[in-house]
């Protein structure tokens, strides 16, 4: 399987590698380092009364993602990143030192997308555009395997859906709904 995934990553390098994307993809990727853009999105939604439900859903999803991805799955799986096999292809100044599976950037991004969609926010569409760009950036930068990205999307979908459900219960119990 690793051989096939390396072939996919190498194909992406041959087809998409260019000066503009070499500049853009690290910027897209860094937006989601430690989930900053998604945490900011959640915080901003929490500030507006009409959007608070969506902010709570996104915050719950990100919290579930933190535990599932970073504290359980990454240490449990311990997968080596693809740049270990092709170090000359990584464009990041300081490549990540943690395990590769699942992609934490992708999981956090899709957790917010699915939380917003499940909670009924129209903001899921622009969030999806940034989430897709983030996932692509992680492949382009040679820091994740395609199956890491797929795993991140699936994990994000699960915790996003669960986060929206948890937010609904919490808001109903507090009467803030």
Residue ranges per structural domain of the chain: 49-89+102-177
For the entire predicted model, the pTM comes to 0.91
Task: Give 93-135 as a 3 state SS string.
Answer: CCCCCCCCCCCHHHHHHHHHHHHHHHHCCCCHHHHHHHHHHHH
| Mean pLDDT to the nearest integer, 35-60 | 94
Per-residue pLDDT band for 84 (boundaries 50, 70, 90) equals confident
* Angstrom distances, CA of residue 151 to CA of 69, 70, 93: 10, 13, 25
Residue 58 has pLDDT above 90, yes or no: yes
């Amino acid at each position: 399987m690793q051989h096939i995934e390396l072939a996919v990553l190498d194909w992406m390098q041959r087809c998409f590698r260019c000066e503009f994307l070499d500049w853009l993809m690290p910027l897209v990727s860094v937006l989601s380092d430690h989930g900053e853009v998604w945490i900011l999105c959640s915080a901003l939604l929490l500030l507006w009364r009409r959007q608070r439900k969506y902010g709570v859903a996104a915050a719950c999803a990100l919290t579930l993602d933190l535990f599932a991805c970073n504290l359980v799955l990454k240490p449990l799986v311990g997968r080596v990143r693809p740049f270990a096999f092709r170090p000359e292809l990584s464009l990041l100044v300081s490549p990540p030192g943690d395990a590769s599976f699942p992609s934490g950037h992708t999981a956090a991004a899709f957790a917010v997308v699915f939380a917003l969609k499940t909670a009924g926010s129209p903001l899921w569409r622009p969030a999806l555009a940034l989430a897709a760009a983030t996932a692509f950036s992680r492949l382009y930068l040679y820091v994740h395997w395609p199956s890491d990205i797929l795993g991140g999307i699936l994990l994000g979908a699960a915790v996003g859906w669960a986060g929206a459900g948890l937010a609904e219960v919490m808001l109903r119990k507090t009467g803030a709904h």
